[in-house]
Structure 1
Amino acid sequence: MKRAALWPEHLLPPHHVPPPWPGREVRLDGTVTYVRDTPATSADAEPALYVHGLGGSSQNWTDLAGLLAHRLDGQAIDLPGFGRSEPGRRYTIPAFAERVVRWIEHSDRGPVHLFGNSLGGAVAVHVAGLRPELVRTLTLVSPALPFLDFRRSLQGRMLPLLAIPRGERLAAWRLAQLAPEVMVQQVLEACFADLTRISEQRRQEALEEIRVRYEAAHYTAAYVRTFRGLVSSFLRSYLPGAGSMWRIAAAVQAPTLVVGGLQDKLVDVRVAPQAARAIPDSRLMMLEGVGHVAQVEVPRTVARAVLHLLAETEEAGRRSDMAG
């Protein structure tokens, strides 16, 4: 593990707030996966794939994907049951990873530069650890890798739901009691350290995303079942066996950037450094005054770290070619 470095700020595109990138429905293995494309702005851009967190969607990558479009031809997917994708049969890390693998194979764009935030970070580690030939580089933003002290997460309040039969019904009832505007405020306060960093445009987009959730009959079940699957993966990671996320992380071969926010309210802030220590070729960036979604809260900083990772990886490839 080493400290992440930053690409020069002045080499990034000028600041602006793009609208969400256009999306499309793709039928994959009998169900619809929703995909947003961020077209590359240069001919030599390489393929990238972005995977959102629990309760998030492909829109969570709008700003970062735009900042990287001169280097990366981006696609962001909605995981089954989230965003505008149809529900899935299983809501576990391996099941989500299988969908990501299937998308990479279906799109015939691999290997990709793979990005994951929170739940998406755990999914991305699973893909990179078990299918290394599909991943060029790996970027993890507040990855939801195992931790057992749920007092360090606002999600700990959901643990009782997992012990209640059909707990998703209680979650659906609770959701129905909250106005979309109230839910948006709660989500933003949980995910961001500094709410002043949220533009009015992004706030309105978040409100529209919440309304989509309210209209999706499957959403609360998908959320609760995914949270149950995530907690189960945490517990298995501290038991013997090949399913441990930490053992999978140790098998990751791709050059990796791990980003954590020191004011993260959802994932224990000790997880990002632990992930960087577990992954062999890793760089760590911990951000003061930043919460759970650094790619949304401080996208230019994250973009600079990603661009330095890409430059470093290219240079290592050139040296390897010369040595060969």
Structure 2
Amino acid sequence: MNVTSERAPLTRVPLSDAPRPPLDTTQLAWPGEFVESGGVRLHIRRTPGPTDETAVFVHGLGGSSKNWTDLAAQLSLHAQGIAVDLPGAGQTEPPAGYKFDLVEHAETLAKFLRGLDLGPVHLFGNSMILAAKHPDLVKTLTLVSPAVPDLRPFPNRMSDPRIPFAMMPIVGPRFRRQLAMLTPMQRAQQLVKLCFANPALVPPHRLEETAADFVERAKLSWAAQALMATTLGLFRAWLVPPKQSLWRIVPQITAPTLVIWGTEDKLVTVRKAPRTARLLPKGRLLVLPKTGHVAQMERPETVARAVLGLFEAEKDGTW
């Protein structure tokens, strides 16, 4: 395992100088479309790029395909991009009976990718189970603050501390009414404050885009229930017996893997980073100072340099 910070010697985690498009701070999300593949229907966003390499981007809890706009653009000279909305997130309506747990998400995405027949892809995001259970689908893996078990108190790790109470019986309705009184922009500001180390650096158009997402999701009859079910599914994955723990899954991942973590991550503590990378047979760790939970959004250029270093090292067998 190799561990470094952004300021450490770059020989530990190779940062590529390969060409990348200049970062467009006004870039809006790539256009979306619904695609059916392998018996699965997902809403996705495509980033044009060389078709001999494909990067697949998978959001985390409460996220969507829009979380990868800037990083996908930075990698577009080297790989075409596919950012997915998992069932119950973004614009993808969950099928009847969907379980919303990590295993079902992984199997759903595996079916979708097999149907596309793209060969092994560069996989990004919260996708450890897919990489472990379907190694033939994964060429490289980039984990950005992955949702490994972290059982610290939850209220301080949510965009609004009232959210856990809104899920409870009896008192839940009162807290849900309070939350419903927040404007979409207030909710967007809360989310950015939680996920970014320095919310002041978020461009205005990103805040507006996030606020518009809250408006759109409020129109989807299944969205709130799906988010709650996905949240509970993640908590259950953290509370299973040790033999079923995600920590037992990580060592099964055979693909060259880059783990990226921000020192100011409020959702999943950076203290979990060394253990995560150490358990990976081909893992390296990049810790970014003054960075929160979504390094790919807060530091897309730095993340892209590290990812292209991974691509190059995988290709020449030096990872």
State whether TM-score is above 0.5.
Answer: yes
Compare the two structures and name the one with the higher helix fraction: 1
Alignment-derived partner of residue 191 in structure 2: 187
2:251 alignment counterpart: 250
The correspondence for 2:138, drawn from 135, 139, 142, is: 135
| Map of 2:153 onto structure 1 | 150
Q: Is the 8 A contact 2:165 2:172 kept in 1?
A: no
Q: Which amino acid aligns with 1:77?
A: V
> Would the aligned equivalents of 2:54 and 2:80 in 1 still touch at CA under 8 Å?
yes
Deviations 1:32-91 (A, max 9, x none): 410100010x46x40111001111110100000010011111100001111111024211
Alignment of 1:68-107 (within 5 A): 68-88=75-95, 89-107=98-116
Partner SS state of residue 101, structure 1:
helix
SS at 1:140's partner residue?
Answer: strand
Report the aligned-residue RMSD: 2.4
- CA deviations on 1:272-316 (whole Å, 9 max, x unpaired) are 222111111011011111001000001000000000011111111
Q: Name the structure 1 match of 2:200.
A: 196
Deviation at 1:201, TM superposition (A): 2.0
Identify if the C-alpha distance between structure 1 residues 105 and 249 changes in structure 2 by more than 3 Å, giving closer, same or farther.
same
Name 1:11's counterpart in structure 2: 19
Using the alignment, how far apart are the partners of 1:226 and 1:167 within structure 2? 21
1:230 aligns with 2:234: yes
Residue 11 of structure 1 and its aligned partner are, at CA, apart by: 3.0
1:213 aligns with 2:217: yes
Unaligned runs of 5+ in 1: 320-324
State how far apart, in whole Å, the 2-side matches of 1:189 and 1:72 are.
31
Q: What amino acid is aligned across from residue 69 of structure 1 in structure 2?
A: S
* Contact 2:166/2:173, CA 8 A, preserved across alignment: no
CA contact (8 A) 1:114 1:138 kept: yes
How many residue pairs align between the two structures? Answer: 305
The 2-side partners of 1:103 and 1:112 are apart by 13
What code does the residue aligned with 2:128 have? V
TM-score normalised by length of structure 1: 0.87
SS at match of 2:317: helix
Whichever residue aligns with residue 64 of structure 1, its letter is: L
- AA paired with 1:263? E
Could you say which residue in structure 1 is the equivalent of 2:9? none
User: Mean alpha-carbon deviation: is it higher for 140-149 or for 27-36?
Assistant: 27-36
Question: Which residue in 1 is equivalent to 2:2?
Answer: 2
Cα 1:251/1:216, change in 2 over 3 Å: same
Q: What is the rounded CA distance, in whole Å, between the counterparts of 1:168 and 1:92 in structure 2? A: 23
**Alpha-carbon spacing, 1:220–1:168, altered in 2? closer, same or farther (3 Å):** farther
Q: Cα deviations across residues 94-123 of structure 1 (Å, max 9, x unaligned)?
A: 01111110111121113111000xxxx1xx
1:288 — aligned with what? 289
- Aligned twin of 1:306: 307
Amino acid at match of 2:28: P
Structure 2 CA distance for partners of 1:175 and 1:32, relative to 1, 3 Å:
farther
**Which residue does 2:7 correspond to in 1?**
none
Q: CA–CA distance in 1 between the matches of 2:171 and 2:278?
A: 36
Taking the aligned partners of 1:166 and 1:6, their CA distance within structure 2 comes to 52
Which of 40, 54, 57 lines up with 2:61 in the alignment? 54
Shift of the 80–174 alpha-carbon distance from structure 1 to 2, 3 Å rule, reads farther
1:20 aligns with 2:20: no
Asked if the contact 1:39/1:73 (under 8 Å) is kept, the reply is yes
Q: In structure 1, the residue corresponding to 2:99 is in which secondary structure?
A: coil
Distance in structure 2 (CA, Å) of the matches to 1:97 and 1:147: 20
Change (3 A) 1:214 1:307: same
- Which has the higher mean CA deviation after the structures are superposed, 216-225 or 58-67? 216-225
- CA distance 1:279–1:31, shift in 2 (3 Å): closer
- Could you tell me how far apart the structure 1 residues matched to 2:316 and 2:38 are? 38
Mapping of residues 30-49 of structure 1, within 5 Å: 32-40=41-49, 42=50, 45-49=52-56
CA distance in 1, matches of 2:123, 2:172: 31
Q: If the length of structure 2 is used for normalisation, what is the TM-score?
A: 0.88
Q: Which residue of 2 aligns with 1:113?
A: 122
How many angstroms apart in 2 are the aligned matches of 1:130 and 1:315?
25
Residue 233 of structure 1 aligns to a residue whose secondary structure is helix
